[in-house]
Structure 1
Amino acid sequence: MTSAATAALQRSRQLHPLHVRRAAVSHVEQLGGRMRRITLGLEAGTPPIPWVRLAVGDHVKVAFPHPTTGELTLPTVVDDRPSLPEGAQRPVTRDYTVRGVHDADQTQQVTIDFVVHGTGPASTWASGARKGDVVGLLGPRGSMTEPADARRYVCLADETALPAVGRWLEEAPAGIPLEVVVQVPDATCLVPLPQRADARVTWLMDEEEGTLAESLRSLPPEPGDYVWAAGEAGTMVQVRRAAAELGVGGEALKPSALQVDGYWRRGVPGRDHHEPLES
């Protein structure tokens, strides 16, 4: 185990060229009451999705077919930027964590876990996805690798961040313990997670904005710990404030013992998770 005195807790960034890919559903699995695992086979000859160990937040933009016509219009790449034909309607896109990749039948298979709720374009598509259905995948534009030298990993998440939590449990270096706290609305949202001897997973079942922040205060972090949190933006603001009270903090893309990401915000469809938490 790395000592607190030697832990640098630095994240590293690796950029990737932009690719736009077509992918067809090859398998669908219901993981829990609101989560569907959908595996997508890339079109033959398509550049593979990059896979970087410990880049648990790697994500692609999933482009969905038009809900009425079923037509899928994808951009081409011009000067490393997406470009649509003049007059073409931009497809609806949403960001999703890449849960896993593997090769089968001479093509890369990409696994994405969708939380299905409400009637938004992503949830509607995912709830009815069948083998052969086609979507577009754009990116990832880069990979942010989490530090591999923590004394302990403290991971706080809601159900939208469960794919990244699964990656933490699979990819964290052996011998470094993980303390994982997951907040879900109720017991129907529980899903199986990877098992490891040095991890403790706690499920909390409520929808209060301050639940994960209180969990962080109750641990609390110690020198050398790395705190990673992702989920609803308002909840993440509370987590960041609690971390500051505990003396843990820093800017997200600089060496720090804290990384907080707001994947979504209540009442704001399609929020860009790159925006500041308060937005």
Structure 2
Amino acid sequence: MRPARVAAVETLSPRFRLADLEGEALRNVAWTAGQKVQVSIGSGLSARTYTPISWDAESGRTRMLTFAHGDGPGSRWASGLREGDTCQFFGPRRSLDLSGLESPVVLFGDETSFGLAAALRDSPQGASATHVFEVSHVFEVSDVVESRPVLEAIGLGQAILIERLADDAHLAAAEAKVLRLAASGAHFVLTGKASSIQRVSRALKAVGVVSSRVKTKAYWAQGKIGLD
């Protein structure tokens, strides 16, 4: 476990907050975009998983975007964060390996994927000075009006947002957006809700996108806990 202090908290919307953690235990830490941290909340072994946006190993500081989904322990912890609070977490640890991606990249996900998208944009690969690394973002979200300014605040204002509909009827539009980019030879990163990932993955396979061009990571599934 790494002890850390909450150095800053910025409320971006009713459910999204940017949190900066700092501490000596965060110095000289090897981190790459896509890795996770598991923050201890409450008592016992209860923890919630986040994808850091950035990590400054020299100063010992990391930034993450929290999303309060529902009224569970994780949402209450994120909503109650205050500057000066302390916390402990495991990590960074392996979660999604983004090595080997070639431009252009299409990242599909949801609110739980915003942090990953920002991390990829700011990574040495995504921000390469030697060539333009194109990344298109397609997100399914519960509230477009809330999500748009959050994405703009973290530098992802050009993302395509598709509002969720009953019975996942919106996923047809999401598939169409993703498949439109498949012909360009894009690599795909599919994250967020497990069932949505499965559907988009099947659609890509149906049009001949080989598995080596697709990376997947389910962060959550309806009615289940324990995913990250």
- Give the Cα separation in 2 of the matches to 1:151 and 1:145: 12
**Residue 194 (str. 1) matches residue 155 (str. 2):** yes
> Matches of 1:45 and 1:220 in 2, distance apart?
42
> 1:39 is matched with which residue: 17, 20, 27?
20
Matched residues, number: 214
Q: Which residue of 1 aligns with 2:92?
A: 140
The match for 1:114 among 56, 59, 66 is 66
C-alpha distance 264-207 of structure 1, shift in aligned 2 (>3 A): farther
Partner of 1:181: 138
Of 28, 32, 36 in structure 2, the residue corresponding to residue 59 of structure 1 is: 36
Quickly say closer, same or farther: Cα 1:179–1:189, change in 2 above 3 A: closer
Alignment of 1:244 onto 2:205: yes
Task: Tell me how far 1:195 sits from its aligned partner.
Answer: 5.9
Contiguous gaps of at least 5 residues in structure 1: 1-19, 67-89, 251-255, 274-279
Displacement of 1:45: 5.1
Aligned to 1:154: 106
SS state at 1:32 partner = coil
Q: Contact conserved, 1:184 with 1:207, CA < 8 A, in 2? A: no
Return the offset for 1:112.
1.3
Pair member with larger Rg: 1
Matches within 5 A, 1:1-279: 20-42=1-23, 44=24, 48-52=28-32, 55=33, 57-66=34-43, 90-102=44-56, 107-142=59-94, 144-148=97-101, 150-171=102-123, 172=126, 173=128, 174-186=131-143, 187-190=145-148, 191=150, 192=152, 193-194=154-155, 200-207=158-165, 209=168, 210=171, 211-217=173-179, 219-222=180-183, 224-250=185-211, 256-268=212-224, 270-273=225-228
Q: Greater relative contact order (Cα 8 A, min sep 6): structure 1 or 2? A: 1
Across the aligned residues of Structure 1 and Structure 2, the Cα RMSD in angstroms comes to 2.3
* Partner Cα distance (1:138, 1:237) in 2: 29
Distance, in Å, in 1 between the alignment partners of 2:165 and 2:53 is 24
Query: Cα distance 1:61–1:45, how it changes in 2: closer, same or farther (>3 A)?
Result: closer
Shift of 1:110: 1.4
Letter in 1 for 2:177: S
Q: Which has the higher helix share?
A: 2
Matched AA of 1:221: A
